[in-house]
Structure 1
Amino acid sequence: MRYAAEKYGVNCVGVSVSKEQVKRGNETKGDLPIEFRLQDYRDIHEKFDHIVSIGMFEHVGYKNYRTYMKIVEKNLKDNGLFLLHTIGTNVSAKITDPWIHKYIFPNSVLPSAVQISKAVEKLFVIEDWHNFGIQYDRTLMTWYDNFKKAWPRLKDKYDERFYKMWEFYLLSSAATFRTRQSQVWQIVLSKHGKHNGYKRICQ
């Protein structure tokens, strides 16, 4: 949001159920036209020109996929665009890996293309669907390298078990992208279809 506000003069509203995220956002926004709210997405009742969802859809639960899309559709202006950024998987699932559930992302589940398509049916037109999955392998390996380099500064606060758990998480996650089991999707949706078509920014 900071980039959008600085570069394009956009007025932004950020919604999170994390007190830490909202606190950090308000501390760093400066004088930019950005508002951070401690709010559940289901409690939003106002119209926006555009809506962006980044790393959120993986956490709403498969039973709420359709509800999530209905709420976005309700809060998006008729000529607006909705960008859904989510990690996805090739196979529809209702539960996540037990280790991931216990230690990393409780109650998360990765959506499939089929589940997303069903959730947006009769609500949105899919204007663009881009897959950045292969690049995310490199992202995770960079995080792993940074984690190793920072460990001498962190090891007084965290034990060896913590190190091994994060090492396992980052490397195993990278493996799912390298083997193309997991994807990173950016999906652009409109309510009625862009009359002149949608031009992808990144070719």
Structure 2
Amino acid sequence: MERLLLQVISRVVRRGTLSVTLASGRRASFGDGTGIPLAMRFTSVQWQRRVCLDPELALGEAYMDGGLIVEQGDIADILALFMAQVGLAVPSVSAKLFMKLRFLFRRLAQFNPRERSQQNVAHHYDLDGRLYSLFLDADRQYSCAYFERPDQTLDDAQLAKKRHIAAKLLFDRPDLATLDIGCGWGGMGLYLAENAGARVTGVTLSQEQLGVARNRANERGLAERAAFRLQDYRDTPGPFDRIVSVGMFEHVGVGHYDEYFARVAELLTDDGVALIHSIGRSEGPGITNPWIAKYIFPGGYIPALSEVLPAIERAGLYVTDIEILRLHYAETLKAWRERFLAHREEVERLYDARFVRMFEFYLASSEMAFRHQGMMIFQVQLARREGVVPMTRGYIAEAEAALKAMETRHRPGLRLAGE
């Protein structure tokens, strides 16, 4: 099995410099000697066997459970090395077999009726709220930021994301009824209520997020303009002038796309506008990474546009704009990972060391997928009829400027401690 594992690694690592120490003490080197030298060590024969047979699942498990120790560099460096071998790596026979089987059964894994959807959401989003406060921005935006400049801070980039989305939603008059599908901790909905004059209904399947969103609305005096519910979007009554969904579509599942867009079309008024912001894959339909599906986002799937657009067409909706954000999420995840690791001792007190390694692996592998494996963000703007959206995109910059002025007006003033 040692020899087979070394063959598997040699088929993957063609560039870079990697040293691997096996449980027997044997050491082998891989790559072409370029880049930063990295080193890792297996602690048991059992972990070597598991990683050899199913690296997509077992590599993360080995790191979580101490079966793989990074001795030079960190796990983000190791994952960057593996995932950057685009066009060079040759998957093993067993890896190809597991991939084919997972693709064959992917619709079953992504079957998300109402009850299962709520269970899947609770798995990730009902974690201790203190965890997310340690690495997200102040507004708890748990989705891709929009970096207008390379040196922009995470908080400013997340604010720019909300502004950019709001601009595309064309809030051309006050009191537009707005649905936020998968509202998270309420940041997007509260932004629209405060700065765009919207009347927002936010729906989530997370008890933890619902409580935070409602508290924030009350604290900011927006409870009458922003109502949050524990509700499936499929059960939400309409109609709505505007519909927004940020970072929720990844949880719908490929077998539910027709149902999702049919519901959006049903809820949207004739002159309404919808904006769907989702992670996407650039290389066509695929599968959810099995480690991510097991430990982080059960039931989740990152779609290709070729899977999404036909469902939009079948729902009778017009695609009025598509924008692709490429490395924005890589930079977002990098900022999250750095913040998370700066607070790793606090996270360990909330959970344990295994959880810390699991979450670090999740953030690092996600970042490298956006840097090296064709992951991106798409923002699809939708309408029920032609002529609702201006013919050119100049309105987006104009709306962003107006929203920025509103943000300044609503920015709280400085207060002394204790006030």
Shorter-chain TM-score category?
over 0.9
Task: Specify the alignment match of 1:76 in structure 2.
Answer: 268
For 1:152 and 1:192, locate their aligned partners in 2 and report how far apart those are by CA, in whole Å: 53
For 1:198 and 1:73, locate their aligned partners in 2 and report how far apart those are by CA, in whole Å: 23
Greater than 3 Å deviation, 4+ residue runs: none
For 2:397 and 2:337, locate their aligned partners in 1 and report how far apart those are by CA, in whole Å: 27
Cα offset, 1:45, TM superposition: 2.7
CA deviation profile, 1:45-79 (whole Å, cap 9, x unmatched): 31000000111111111110011000000000011
Residue of 195, 210, 215 corresponding to 1:22: 210
Residue of 353, 362, 366 corresponding to 1:173: 366
For 1:28 and 1:164, locate their aligned partners in 2 and report how far apart those are by CA, in whole Å: 31
Higher Rg? 2
Task: Specify the alignment match of 1:6 in structure 2.
Answer: 194
Cα offset, 1:198, TM superposition: 5.3
For 2:258 and 2:385, locate their aligned partners in 1 and report how far apart those are by CA, in whole Å: 18
Q: Identity of aligned pairs, percent?
A: 37
Secondary structure, counterpart of 1:147 in structure 2: helix
For 1:39 and 1:189, locate their aligned partners in 2 and report how far apart those are by CA, in whole Å: 23
Work out which structure has the larger RCO, using CA pairs closer than 8 Å and 6 or more positions apart in sequence: 1
Residue of 33, 41, 44 corresponding to 2:233: 41
Task: Specify the alignment match of 2:391 in structure 1.
Answer: 197
For 1:47 and 1:102, locate their aligned partners in 2 and report how far apart those are by CA, in whole Å: 36
For 1:133 and 1:51, locate their aligned partners in 2 and report how far apart those are by CA, in whole Å: 24
Are residue 162 (structure 1) and residue 355 (structure 2) matched?
yes
Amino acid of the structure 2 residue aligned with 1:137 = A
Residue 133 of structure 1 contacts residue 180 of structure 1 at CA under 8 Å; is this kept in 2? Answer: no
Cα offset, 1:155, TM superposition: 2.4
CA deviation profile, 1:59-108 (whole Å, cap 9, x unmatched): 11111001100000000001111100100112213x41111111000010
* TM-score for both structures, normalised by structure 2: 0.46
Residue 325 of structure 2 contacts residue 376 of structure 2 at CA under 8 Å; is this kept in 1? Answer: yes
Cα offset, 1:44, TM superposition: 1.9
Amino acid of the structure 2 residue aligned with 1:155 = E
Secondary structure, counterpart of 2:337 in structure 1: helix
Cα offset, 1:180, TM superposition: 4.7
Task: Specify the alignment match of 2:312 in structure 1.
Answer: 120
Cα offset, 1:136, TM superposition: 0.7
Q: Across the two proteins, how many residue pairs are aligned to each other?
A: 202
Amino acid of the structure 2 residue aligned with 1:55 = G
Q: Structure 1 stretch 139-148 or stretch 115-124: which is displaced more?
A: 115-124
Amino acid of the structure 2 residue aligned with 1:176 = A
Task: Specify the alignment match of 1:139 in structure 2.
Answer: 332
- Say what the alpha-carbon RMSD is for the aligned residues: 1.6
Secondary structure, counterpart of 1:121 in structure 2: helix
CA deviation profile, 1:121-175 (whole Å, cap 9, x unmatched): 1421111111113111000000000001111323222322112111111111111
**Which sections of structure 2, spanning at least 5 residues, go unmatched?**
1-188, 399-419
Task: Specify the alignment match of 1:151 in structure 2.
Answer: 344
Secondary structure, counterpart of 1:29 in structure 2: helix
For 1:103 and 1:167, locate their aligned partners in 2 and report how far apart those are by CA, in whole Å: 12
Secondary structure, counterpart of 2:396 in structure 1: coil
* TM-score for both structures, normalised by structure 1: 0.93
For 2:214 and 2:374, locate their aligned partners in 1 and report how far apart those are by CA, in whole Å: 37
Are residue 101 (structure 1) and residue 289 (structure 2) matched?
no
Amino acid of the structure 2 residue aligned with 1:29 = A
Residue 127 of structure 1 contacts residue 198 of structure 1 at CA under 8 Å; is this kept in 2? Answer: no
Amino acid of the structure 2 residue aligned with 1:181 = G
**Which sections of structure 1, spanning at least 5 residues, go unmatched?**
none
Task: Specify the alignment match of 2:157 in structure 1.
Answer: none
For 1:190 and 1:158, locate their aligned partners in 2 and report how far apart those are by CA, in whole Å: 45
